[in-house]
Amino acid sequence: MQRWLLLIAGGICGTLGRYVLAGAVYEWLGSGFPYGTLAVNGLGCLVIGFLSTLADRRSLLTPEFRLFWMIGLLGAFTTFSTLIYESWRLLQDGQMLLAGINLLGSVILGLAALWVGSLLAGLL
């Protein structure tokens, strides 16, 4: 199968998975707190941690498997898992400062970008 088809298929599955899981969690726990997003992010981190360890320690994952699952599916399911994975890799390499900058910078930049986007939309 073409590599881009694997990426698209993974993205579709990840998007649907996020929608279904988050929706179910919100129905169960209510919408007073972003429980659905928290559940999706936690599960995404769990799965990417599991798969990346299999890939690193056992060399069990083909490039096509990684493309579908780790980039396509988990990338669409939650980009938070990618942020955590990349920070984890920095920590494993002894780059504590860079890991902290990546984490804190992503949160601050994300909140600032959301605020600016909201301001821009308010101008319309």
Q: Average pLDDT for consecutive 10-residue bins of the chain (124 residues)?
A: 90 96 95 87 87 80 86 88 86 94 90 85 78
**CB count, 10 Å around CB of 35?**
15
Q: Which domain does 9 fall in, by range?
A: 3-97
121 in a structural domain: no
Q: Is position 63 within any domain?
A: yes
Residue 12 falls inside a structural domain:
yes
Which of 51, 95, 88 lies closest to 69, judged by CA? Answer: 51
Place of tokens 């299999």: 54
Does residue 20 fall inside a structural domain?
Answer: yes
The pTM assigned to this predicted structure is 0.75
Count how many domains the chain has: 1
How much is the pLDDT for 91? Answer: 95
